[in-house]
Structure 1
Amino acid sequence: MPPLLHIEWNVDPVLFDLGPVQVHWYGLLFTTGFFLGYLIVQRMFVWEDKPLRDLEPLFFYVIGGAVIGARLGHIVFYNLTYYVLNPIEIFYVHQGGLASHGGGIGIIIALYLYARSRRDQPFLWITDRVVVPTILAGMFIRIGNVFNSELYGLPADVPWAFVFEQVDAVPRHPVQLYEALAYGLIFVTLFLVYRLYVLKRAQQGEAQHGLLSGLFLVLVFTARFGLEFFKAPVSDLVEVLPIDMGQLLSLPAVLLGLWLLWRVKGR
């Protein structure tokens, strides 16, 4: 039998090396995602006549909440023992190791703190705006995972399977790209709902806070739940349950999203 078609992947995660400073693909893509997110939120503030001076503190709240939450989520949910034994590596964010569930929790806490002092930007108002660029940043982060040869999928015999040579010689599902594609589609969906419905309602003084936040939670974590079936396990939970940690953490997020959508519909 001829060998199965697959894609050999052996890209150096370091884009270029400046001696004491290394620029990683992951870091570049992470920064690009959040920079584009900043520009999107800036346009939202202009369209809705919100003070642009609030963008800088909002940006730092979101970045801080996302990075700290995602890093702590990865450590606590997936690899606590390793980081207890190697505490210095907690700070190696540039090498990857960010959990989207933890990042979501971190952003929620950060936005709650941000909204407390701004009456014109209630908590659900600001979350509805921030979730749109957040999922775009998530798409770039998943592409960064490909460059880091991490969060790869299970062995596969599909023609587009990747062999991550820095891991092993096994063709695998490029589940990072599956997830990046899903996030890109969700971003387009949320942005269109914002432009065609939420923005118009807001300009008419008939805003329904929570719609985009609910859609975000339902769409993103339903996609995450399904794609986890293609992903190599990163926790030991699959040894005792038919689902892994990522799927378990996705369930409450989907339920919260459904509750937000029900709340909006009721109003």
Structure 2
Amino acid sequence: MEHLIWNADPTIFALGPLELRWYGLLFVGSFFLGLLILTRIYKREGKDPAVLDALLIYVMVGAVLGSRLVHCLFYEPEYYLSHPLEILKIWKGGLASHGGLAGVLITLYLFAKRYHTSYMWLLSRVAIPGALTAAFVRIGNLFNSEILGLPSDKPWAIIFSRVDMVPRHPVQLYEALSYLIIFVLLIAVYRRVTPAFATKILPGVFLVTVFTARFLLEYTKTRQESYTMDIPFTTGQMLSVPYVILGILWIIWAYKSDSKESSHDKASHS
């Protein structure tokens, strides 16, 4: 059986020690695309989009710092604790999406306080382009021939010739497609419900769908961590579980809160 051989150069062009890589272009580009989406949302809801340039900086800093620290401390702790200065060398690669989300949650809180914005409102709207960024990052991983899938004889398996000649699950594409579907789902929910309910429900939907997809697709990946655990789950799965649980609780709270408000409104008008 013939399989697609993937040998794309991860570097678009290099000028001396400086390189422009597909991963970086997709990562940064997704944030600017997200900025355009948030601009439309702000205008749709009568808010001033002038603050979005500052929001972009907050989100990018949170995403990079959070994802880098979690990668270093959870996926390769022995190496980075022995070589702490290596943690600063982000350009060498090594970012973890779970940490990126944690970092964004923190910086969004700081932004909300600084600019007197509702944290919940902000969180729910940023969730929409957040799914798109996750998809772009996985396409970047594809160009880097990293986060490889397990060997597979499926007709759509891909040979990453920069690594080996073994046909593998294109798990980067699995995840990218999953996150694009979630992106469309979040937009559909946002447009169909009231703005008040969107504020409550969207973060929960994001957490449940993104990290359930991540948990399940880990079964098609090679292990990324540099150590072994005597449990049948990967580090990625273990880090996904708290987010899924939080998302489920969030959705339950959103529906209960909305139901209480509806009952109160009916009572006040009777």
Q: Same fold (TM over 0.5)?
A: yes
Aligned residue for 1:221?
A: 211
Give the alignment partner of residue 241 of structure 1, picking from 231, 236, 239: 231
Aligned to 1:260: 250
Cα shift at 1:186: 0.3
On the 8 A contact 1:26/1:94 being kept in 2, the answer is no
Match for residue 87 of structure 2?
Answer: 90
3-state SS of paired residue (2:162): coil
Aligned length: 257
Which residue pairs with 1:109 in the alignment?
106
**What is the DSSP-based 3-state SS (H/G/I as helix, E as strand, rest coil) of the residue aligned with 1:151?**
coil
* Residue pair 1:151, 1:231 contacting (<8 A) in 2 also: yes
Tell me which of 166, 169, 174 is aligned to 1:170.
166
The normalised TM-score by structure 2 is: 0.90
Please name the residue that 2:27 is paired with: 30
2:197–2:254 contact (8 Å) kept in structure 1: no
How much has 1:118 moved relative to structure 2?
3.9
Question: Is the contact made by 1:42 and 1:55 (CA closer than 8 Å) also made in structure 2?
Answer: yes
Unaligned runs of 5+ in 1: none
The corresponding residue for 1:210 is 200
- Determine if contact 2:190/2:198 at 8 Å carries over to the other structure: no
Deviations 1:84-137 (A, max 9, x none): 344454344344321110001000011111112344x31111010001101101
Displacement of 1:164 in angstroms is: 1.2
Opposite residue 192 of structure 1, the aligned amino acid is A
| CA–CA separation in structure 2 for the residues paired with 1:241 and 1:89 | 29
| Paired residue type of 2:57 | F
Structure 1: distance between partners of 2:79 and 2:17: 26
Cα distance in structure 2, aligned partners of 1:130 and 1:249: 21
Closer/same/farther in 2, CA of residues 238 and 210 from structure 1, 3 Å limit: farther
| CA RMSD between the two structures | 1.6
Give the Å deviation of 1:19: 2.1
Q: Distance between the aligned counterparts of 2:234 and 2:209, measured in 1?
A: 19
Q: Give how far 1:32 is off.
A: 1.3
Aligned to 1:48: 45
Contact kept, 8 Å, 1:25 with 1:144, in 2: the verdict is yes
Structure 2 CA distance for aligned equivalents of residues 238 and 222 of structure 1: 23
1:182 has 2:182 as partner: no
In structure 2, what is the equivalent of residue 6 of structure 1?
3
Normalised to the residue count of structure 1, the TM-score between the two structures is 0.91
Instruction: Using the aligned pairs only, state the percent identity.
Output: 48
Task: Identify the match of residue 150 of structure 2 among 145, 150, 154.
Answer: 154
- Write the letter of the residue equivalent to 1:254: V
- 2:261 corresponds in structure 1 to none
Q: What is the rounded CA distance, in whole Å, between the counterparts of 2:241 and 2:185 in structure 1?
A: 21
For 1:148 and 1:87, the matched residues in 2 are separated by 24
Matches of 1:90 and 1:13, distance apart in 2: 22
CA distance in 2, matches of 1:50, 1:129: 12
CA deviation after TM superposition for structure 1 residue 78, in Å = 0.3
CA deviations on 1:215-263 (whole Å, 9 max, x unpaired) are: 0000000000000000001126654001111111111101101111111
